[in-house]
Chains A and B, each alone.
Chain A
Amino acid sequence: MSSRPALRQWEPWSKLQRPAGGRALAGVAECLARKFEVSLWAVRTGFVFLAFCGGVGIAVYMAAWLVLPPEGESKAIWANAVADKRTIALTAGVATLLAAVTGILFGLGEPMVIGSVSPGWVSAAALVGVWRHPGTDDRLALVRVARLLDASKEGLPTRRRLVLSGVRVLVGLGLLGAGALTFLSPRHLTHADMTVGLAAIGVMGGMSLVLAPWWLRLGRDLSEERRQRLRAEERAEMASHLHDSVLQTLALIQRSAAEPLQVQKLARAQERQLRSWLFEQQADGAPALAAPTTVSQALVAIQQEVEADHGSKVEVVTVGDAPLDDRLRAVVAAAREAVVNSAKWSGADAVSLFAEVEPDLVSIFVRDRGCGFDLDAVAPDRKGVSQSIKARTRRHGGTATVRTSPGEGTEVSLKMPRRR
Chain B
Amino acid sequence: MSALKVFLVDDHQLFRAGVRHEISTAGGFDVVGEAGDVASAVAGICASDPDVVLVDVHMPDGGGPEVVRQVLARKPSVRFLALSVSDSAEDVISTIRAGARGYVTKTISTAELASAMAAIAAGDAVFSPRLAGFVLDAFASSPEPVHVHSDPELEQLTSREREVLRLIARGYAYKEIARELYISVKTVETHVSAVLRKLQLSNRYQLTRWAMERRLVPPGD
Contact = CB atoms under 8 A, between A and B. Distances in A.
B220 A296 contact: yes
B133 A318 contact: yes
A305 interface: no
B130 interface: yes
Contacts of B130: 315, 317
Given A315-B129, A317-B133, A296 B171 contact: no
Interface string A287-314: 1000011101100100000000000010
B107 A319 contact: no
B161 to A, nearest CB: 14
Contact of B137 (A282, A287, A320): A320
A56 B140 CA distance: 76
A406 to B, nearest CB: 17
B166 A296 contact: no
B132 interface: yes
B27 interface: no
Contacts of A356: 136, 166, 169
Interface in B193-211: none
Interface string B2-14: 0000000000000
Interface in A165-189: none
B190 interface: no
Contacts of A296: 219-220
Interface in A302-351: 313, 315, 317-321, 323, 350
B88 interface: yes
A282 B218 contact: yes
Given A318-B133, A352-B129, A354-B170, A297 B219 contact: yes
B170 A352 contact: yes
A271 to B, nearest CB: 7
A367 B166 contact: no
A317 B129 contact: yes
A365 interface: yes
A280 interface: yes
Interface in B91-130: 107, 129-130
Contact of B220 (A281, A293, A354, A411): A293
A279 interface: yes
Contacts of A275: 85
Interface centre among A271, A282, A296, A354, by most chain B C-beta atoms within 10 angstroms, is A354
Contact of A294 (B107, B129, B220): B220
Interface residues of B, number: 20
Nearest to A293: B220
B171 to A, nearest CB: 3
Interface in B75-95: 85-86, 88
A112 to B, nearest CB: 64
Contacts of B218: 280-282, 287
A318 B171 contact: no
A321 B220 contact: yes
Contacts of A354: 129, 133, 166, 169-171
A366 to B, nearest CB: 9
Given A279-B88, A319-B133, A367 B171 contact: yes
A352 B133 contact: no
B133 A323 contact: no
Interface centre among A279, A281, A317, by most chain B C-beta atoms within 10 angstroms, is A317
Given A279-B86, A354-B169, A317 B132 contact: yes
Contacts of A350: 171
Contacts of A319: 133, 136-137, 140, 169
Contact of A320 (B129, B140, B170): B140
Nearest to B216: A281
A294 B219 contact: yes
A279 B215 CA distance: 8
Contacts of B172: 367
B27 to A, nearest CB: 22
A315 B132 CA distance: 12
Nearest to B138: A319
Contacts of B86: 279
A319 B137 CA distance: 5
Interface in A7-30: none
Contacts of B166: 354, 356
Given A279-B86, A352-B171, A367-B171, A318 B129 contact: no
A54 B164 CA distance: 88
Contacts of A321: 219-220
Interface in B120-171: 129-130, 132-133, 136-137, 140, 166, 169-171
B220 A367 contact: no
Contacts of B107: 271, 313
Nearest to B215: A279
A297 B136 CA distance: 18
Given A352-B170, A354-B169, 16 more contacts: A279-B88, A279-B215, A281-B218, A297-B219, A315-B129, A317-B129, A317-B169, A318-B219, A319-B137, A320-B137, A320-B140, A352-B129, A352-B171, A354-B133, A356-B136, A356-B166
Interface of B: 85-86, 88, 107, 129-130, 132-133, 136-137, 140, 166, 169-172, 215, 218-220
**7 closest A-B pairs by CB:** A352-B171, A294-B220, A317-B133, A296-B219, A354-B170, A317-B169, A365-B170
15 contacts: A275-B85, A279-B88, A282-B218, A287-B218, A293-B220, A294-B220, A296-B219, A317-B169, A319-B136, A319-B137, A320-B137, A352-B169, A352-B171, A354-B170, A356-B166
